[in-house]
Structure 1
Amino acid sequence: MFAETVRYALYVLLLWIVASLVKSVFIPSPLANIRGPPSTGSWLWGHFKQLFDRQSWQFQHELYNKYGQIVTADGLFGRKLLFVFDPLALHHVLLKDQHIYEETEQLIQMDLQLFGPGLLSVLGDTHRKQRKMLNPVFSIKHMRQMLPIFYQVTDRLRQALNDRVVNGPQAVDMMSWMTRIALELIGEGGLGYSFDPLTTDSANPWGEAMKNLMPSVMPLMPFRNILPFLCKYTSPRLRRWAVERIPWAPLQKVRGIIDTMDEMSHTIYNTKMSALRKGEEATVQQIGAGNDVMSKLLQANMMAAEEDKLPDDQLIAQITTIVFAAMDTTSGVLAHILHMLSERQEVQERLRQEIIEARRENGGEDLSYERLSELSLLDAVCRETLRMYPPLVFLTRTAVEAAVLPLSTPIEGRDGTLMHEVLVPKGTSVVISILASNRNRALWGPDVDEWKPERWAKLPDAVVDAHIPGVYSHLLTFLGGSRACIGFKFSEMEMKVVLMMLLSNFKLSIPDNLGAPICWNFAGVQWPSVGRTSSTSELPLKLELLERRL
């Protein structure tokens, strides 16, 4: 039976590869008239290697600035990719016609294998049901309740960093610390669970697993296209048996990370459910006193009508999903902010003064949610970094039926004709270009590639009038539509609280003896290294303890 299943799966896979080759060679693509980079001549790889190279920024820059706001590139196995960052076209993809542009089957299956059936991994009614259950626990009202938790956690970070520089300035790997603080904030605020006491140099193994997930998955990305076939024609037990026996280091590393995440999710779920069954007294004794996202979700699920309840496997999957979505992304943005402020001391000092003055006016006490939101420069620094350096630079959707994408600005086809709309055939991979939309020169102006927080004091009329279909401040960083990031307010508050603590107590600058510049690498999410060839994720910054100003 096992041998027959394997042979059948290989047979179906071979047929699919042959069909893809025949289609790409003998059937002209309806997208052929849309401009894009020259072909690499490789049917197998297309532009995949340029697009997913760790230093793909130059390729992406040319892709988005040379050919117009709708661009084609070659994907794996001869498939065409349609990159979209025209505002009107994005409105149709993310809002008006979002039912046509679904998550790709390859991504859904990959997320299912990584995280289980959580919010990132399900479609249709299941996704709507999960989102409905989660929306209230990510409301602003709930964010206010979690703010004291954030201040308590960041104070532990302050003490840990203070101990390292109390005898003088030191180079500190702030990427490591931003990862740790992001994990602990989502742990205590999101799950009511402490991952990391923030008192030692050794990071939590679960945090390390999350941090290494996306870089470890990258070598497996070329095989993502065959994942739907494997999942359709083989059982989970067979796939697990095969994975354990394939002697390929990248695959085994990802397997270990998945096992670690799964163990974490079950441990947290069992702990939370045990407390809930014991009643309110046991719940309030937990970290976060029952105000964390997961406790609220489990309580809501217990009280929901039977038809609205989420099954155990979906609840457990939310744990890994929430940690992944909140940790790697927020920590990367925070690290980027610290890098920018270290290179721009005048902005750092102005921001420090804004924070210190606000705290002084508040009697030296922690700021409320409303007062924190009023700090204009802090808000501008966060928005500008989220614009310039979104954690995810693009996401792919599949057109489940043929559609027409109208354009706000016509593009010139390869044959010289002006195109005011694009016919999207069924099955087309439509790439939502987050980075390109956030850096659209036609909207933001010629200085679009400069980090300038002051631009948020008065946005260009073109940006406001474009009506970018994102949930956050004319940006696509947190997407839009029914699959927009549900926790963007959580992430924003997290960043502001961490920055307020750091800048109130420390001065950050670039160390003198790095030996190479700090570079940011592409790997699904962005990560920093010293030099372009180092495989170590790190952001060494000189940390100097400030005199108390309050």
Structure 2
Amino acid sequence: MATNLIGTLIQAGGIYALTWVVWRLSRRYTMKSPLDNIPGPRPTSMIFGNLKDMDDSVTMWKLQEDLMTKWNGVVKLKGFLNENMLYVFDPVAAYNVLLRDHYVYESPHFARSWSKILFGDGVFAVTGSQHKAQRKMMNPLFSIAQLRSITPTFQNVAKKLCAAITTQVQSRRTDSGEIDVLDWLSRAALELIGQGGLGYSFDQLVEDKPNELGDAIKNIAPSLSGGLLSYGDVISTLDVFGDSSSFKLRLLDSIPFKQVKQLVSCIRTIHDGCQNIYEEKKAALMAGEDATVHQVGEGKDIMSVLLKANLEAVEQDRLSENEVIGQMCSLVFAASDTTSSALARTLHILAQHQDIQDKLREEILKASNNSGAENLSYDEIVDLPYLDAICRETLRLYPPVGLIFKETNEDTILPFSKPIVGIDGSLISEIPVPKGTKVFVGITASNRTPELWGEDALEWKPERWLSTLPRQVLDAKIPGVYANLLTFSGGGRACIGFKFSQLEMKVILSTLIESFRFKPSKNHSEIYWNATRIVTPSIGPGNSPTMPMEVTLIKDD
């Protein structure tokens, strides 16, 4: 009976989707748009425009380079069924999208729909007053005081990581004497967010013990690859079936494709796992402080603090159970792969610059000797100038996520910092942007603009952060929350955990560099960085994520 009902609903949805496609095509090919005069690259597909290039790990790099070098900050792209879209990295345009008019430029409808299916009622899926209320409750969880309290947790994870890598290096289990550094960084990043974020251990970093929840989190990104962006408008039609995420999940599960079924399985495992962790945390909190301190994270993890704050808040400010669980699902997904990507890129660069690696190691060892304590304190770690410069420069030149994706919910005007030349030869200083226009903010392009960062903008130079930044960078008022960069976005939807992420990077890097020397792989001289939604390394384009490196113990140097 249920199967017949789902089949009927799918057929009805198919008819609705076909009607919708015909209507959108007729409008887009017959009605003029104020964006028609904006220059941009030719579409490579009649159906998907430029989206296939943006969704491909190889062609995206070429498209991104063209967008940065051939146009001046505001570019027109073509989307699904000839849809006009904008790609912006002009600082004034980015400021308007992310800050001044942020209420106009929301996350795209299909992205919010998917986020609700994937993560529940977390910060990725909600908008308006509900989003503001969630941010208000969550912001104190990433304060300096909170980060100080979880620094020892991060250091314990880092020590376990060092012990695991030491064991592998000494045993030399690989014929080449090399190890897959990305695998260890991915496991450590998940354990960092597990212990520091959820008060839960995914991976003791001792041996490959399967963890169903951890495996589901790792498999979400691969399950989402291959066309989600291109089929965004089609995915939006799921909303015809209402707002029930569980029902939409049942519909997706009825689609006979292995990738879709794998995605549904991952989503259900994550939801169930976070629900179980929530119940355990809540029970411990109700049992009193003695029960809390005996849990992973000792009650200092973000979710334990959130639960306590939520219970103590006045009723109208409290988050619902679904909202709290939504934050948990959102946090583990957003924080794990991005952190491992940034760490992998940093170690890859340091392996190519042994002099800089040595200089960083010298700074870390000096700080450790001066401290005299077993571990550096939070303040000592974040105040290491060269480590900070290396992190900033890596995140400037190589952000783990290269795009911010928005959609206008009403007609608006978008100004630029300088005029662009329209297709008809006219100078354009601002453009009307119709309701429903998809807008991509180019994080990588903004971070690399030579007009702001100088002629060496494409060079990795940590030293640029050890002196005052160029006046043009400061005057541009780039709307990012971190270091005049868009790496962590800006405005009300900026990455709420960017300081948490910075601390993760610095604790792991300082611990690893003090103990090991990293060199490029001798057997795989070229590591390819795939421009997927989160940039990942592999041996050759499009292959499974991996980053083999030669690793030796410093004491054996």
Shorter-chain TM-score range: over 0.9
Q: Counterparts of 1:140 and 1:126 in 2: how far apart (Å)?
A: 25
1:48 and 2:51 aligned? yes
Write the mapping of 1:135-154 to structure 2, written as runs, cut at 5 A.
Answer: 135-154=139-158
Shift of 1:237: 5.4
1:537 and 2:540 aligned? no
Q: Counterparts of 1:238 and 1:111 in 2: how far apart (Å)?
A: 15
TM-score (norm 1): 0.96
2:511 partner letter:
M
1:196 partner letter:
D
Pick aligned residue for 2:126 from 99, 122, 125? 122
Q: Counterparts of 1:6 and 1:531 in 2: how far apart (Å)?
A: 39
1:524 alignment partner, SS class: coil
Check the 8 A contact 1:164/1:170 in 2, yes or no.
no
Q: Counterparts of 2:399 and 2:415 in 1: how far apart (Å)?
A: 26
Deviations 1:452-509 (A, max 9, x none): 1112123222111111000000000111111111100000011000001101000000
> Quick one: structure 1 residues 237 and 138, their matched pair in 2 at CA, closer, same or farther if it must change by over 3 Å?
closer
Q: Counterparts of 1:543 and 1:313 in 2: how far apart (Å)?
A: 44
2:526 partner letter:
P
Deviations 1:323-352 (A, max 9, x none): 111101111000100111111111111111
2:52 partner letter:
K
Q: Which runs of 4 or more aligned residues in structure 1 lie more than 6 Å from their structure 2 counterparts after TM superposition? A: none
Write the mapping of 1:234-249 to structure 2, written as runs, cut at 5 A.
Answer: 234=242, 236=245, 238-249=247-258
> Quick one: structure 1 residues 407 and 509, their matched pair in 2 at CA, closer, same or farther if it must change by over 3 Å?
same
Q: Counterparts of 1:319 and 1:241 in 2: how far apart (Å)?
A: 22
Q: Counterparts of 2:136 and 2:252 in 1: how far apart (Å)?
A: 35
Q: Which residue matches 2:31?
A: 27
Q: Which residue matches 2:215?
A: 208
Check the 8 A contact 2:6/2:251 in 1, yes or no.
no
1:369 and 2:372 aligned? no
Pick aligned residue for 2:77 from 73, 80, 91? 73
Q: Which residue matches 1:305?
A: 314
Shift of 1:135: 0.7
> Quick one: structure 1 residues 359 and 12, their matched pair in 2 at CA, closer, same or farther if it must change by over 3 Å?
same
Which deviates the most, 439-448 or 145-154?
439-448
Deviations 1:287-325 (A, max 9, x none): 121111000000011111111111111111111111111
Deviations 1:162-205 (A, max 9, x none): 11123569311111111111111111111111111111144644
Shift of 1:67: 1.3
1:421 and 2:430 aligned? yes
Q: Which residue matches 2:478?
A: 468
Deviations 1:434-469 (A, max 9, x none): 111111121112222221111212322211111100
Q: List runs of 5+ in structure 1 lacking aligned partners.
A: none
Pick aligned residue for 1:503 from 505, 509, 513? 513
1:194 and 2:201 aligned? yes
1:63 and 2:70 aligned? no
1:60 alignment partner, SS class: helix
Shift of 1:238: 4.7
1:430 partner letter:
V
Q: Counterparts of 1:266 and 1:47 in 2: how far apart (Å)?
A: 40
Q: Counterparts of 2:373 and 2:359 in 1: how far apart (Å)?
A: 19
1:117 partner letter:
D
Write the mapping of 1:384-399 to structure 2, written as runs, cut at 5 A.
Answer: 384-399=393-408
Q: Counterparts of 2:241 and 2:19 in 1: how far apart (Å)?
A: 14
Q: Counterparts of 2:104 and 2:279 in 1: how far apart (Å)?
A: 38
Check the 8 A contact 1:170/1:544 in 2, yes or no.
no
2:51 partner letter:
F
Q: Counterparts of 1:94 and 1:492 in 2: how far apart (Å)?
A: 22
Q: Which residue matches 1:478?
A: 488
Write the mapping of 1:132-531 to structure 2, written as runs, cut at 5 A.
Answer: 132-166=136-170, 170-202=177-209, 204-221=211-228, 222-234=230-242, 236=245, 238-363=247-372, 365-458=374-467, 459-514=469-524, 517-531=526-540
> Quick one: structure 1 residues 179 and 113, their matched pair in 2 at CA, closer, same or farther if it must change by over 3 Å?
same
Q: Counterparts of 1:81 and 1:35 in 2: how far apart (Å)?
A: 11
Give aligned pairs, total. 546
RMSD of equivalent CA atoms: 1.8
Which deviates the most, 415-424 or 224-233?
224-233
Which deviates the most, 107-116 or 259-268?
259-268
Shift of 1:29: 2.2
1:54 alignment partner, SS class: coil
TM-score (norm 2): 0.95
2:292 alignment partner, SS class: helix
Which deviates the most, 201-210 or 112-121?
201-210
> Quick one: structure 1 residues 153 and 362, their matched pair in 2 at CA, closer, same or farther if it must change by over 3 Å?
same
2:54 partner letter:
L
Q: Counterparts of 1:402 and 1:150 in 2: how far apart (Å)?
A: 46
Give % identity: 42
Q: Counterparts of 1:441 and 1:208 in 2: how far apart (Å)?
A: 41
> Quick one: structure 1 residues 402 and 240, their matched pair in 2 at CA, closer, same or farther if it must change by over 3 Å?
closer
